[in-house]
Amino acid sequence: MPNRIAPDQCLIGGQWRPPAGGEYLDLLNPSDGSTLCAIARGTSADVDAAVESANAALNGDWGVATAVERGRILTKISQHVLKHVDLLATLEAQDVGKPLTQARNDAIALARYLEFYGGAADKVHGQTIPYMEGYTVYTLREPHGVTGHIVPWNYPMQIIGRSVGAALAMGNACVLKPAEEACLTALAFAEIARDAGLPDGALNVVSGLGAEAGAALSTHKDVHHISFTGSVGVGKLIQKAAAENIVPVTLELGGKSPQVVFADADLDAALPFLVNAGIQNAGQTCSASSRILVQDRLLDEVTTRMTEAYGALIAAPALEDKHVGPLVS
């Protein structure tokens, strides 16, 4: 059960371990500034242990699991996530600060990602290629091996779903470094995955600072793919570090997202989306509305209605589940 999680430890090889350096960080509640708990301040030693554990999983039960078996495990993890949606939502609301309803939707999205990748696991195929007589030419899809996943604080569950979920579906073994501002759902998810039958070592979680645990993961010579979501500046550093080891990376580094309102728009239908695009997760979203472009003849009406809509919003602590929660820091 996820209530077995030890937030002040790392999950490595299926075991909760205190950080090798014996140091901890305070995890703060954005709603009131109080300390939720202490979390492990993982170091390069913890990352080394996690990578070693992932390699062991690839040489053990996880490495010989068929695509069909991996898909079934992911589907089962998805079902277990749905059983614990309320717990996951509460954890995310407490450490991210997002309203409960938004956090609950993120937990459901996590389950859906896992369901999707569970179904896709045995449907990624190689090819046969026509060639000269006497030759058989084909391509074979293989996992990268050990994959590193550095996820941000704004949507940890969703990004774990589409990053770790995809990697596990293809047979990789993962080392996950959640953001130090919000790591509780990552730790809970790892325990849920174990309960659902994911072999020990297939998913390891090391919390800590990006400049320490994150840097150790992105420069590790035995990590074969790195996935990162976050700032452009850090993304460049990770890309440079990965290049030293000739390791492929997947980077999601934010965006700009204007909303466009044309003269023939149905404003009754559009208005809720225009409002939500700016205030979801207190605006802490890579695709948050940065501006609204309105065709001239609707400008006054849109301005008036948006002003009224924003004036009706209620900001409150996350667990009160109003429209807008606090910023994470």
Q: List the catalytic residues.
A: 252, 286
Q: How far is Cα 153 from Cα 315, in angstroms, rounded to an integer? A: 20
Estimate to the nearest angstrom the gap between the alpha carbon of 87 and the chain centroid. Answer: 17
Q: Which of 150, 136, 135 is nearest to 217 (CA)?
A: 150
Break the chain down into helix, strand, coil percent, rounded to 5.
45, 15, 35
**Overall residue count recorded for the chain in this entry:** 329
Q: Which residues contact 133 (CB under 8 A, 6 or more apart)?
A: none
Per the CB < 8 A criterion, the answer to whether 159 and 175 are in contact is no
C-alpha distances (whole Å) from 1 to each of 5, 71, 79, 104 are: 8, 21, 13, 18
Per the CB < 8 A criterion, the answer to whether 121 and 70 are in contact is yes
Strand ranges inside the chain, DSSP E: 10-12, 15-17, 24-28, 35-40, 128-129, 137-138, 146-150, 173-177, 203-205, 225-229, 249-252, 257-261, 289-294
Half-sphere exposure of 266 (CA within 13 A, CB side): 4
Q: How far is Cα 321 from Cα 104, in angstroms, rounded to an integer? A: 11
Q: How far is Cα 244 from Cα 210, in angstroms, rounded to an integer? A: 19
Q: How many CB atoms lie within 10 A of CB 125?
A: 10
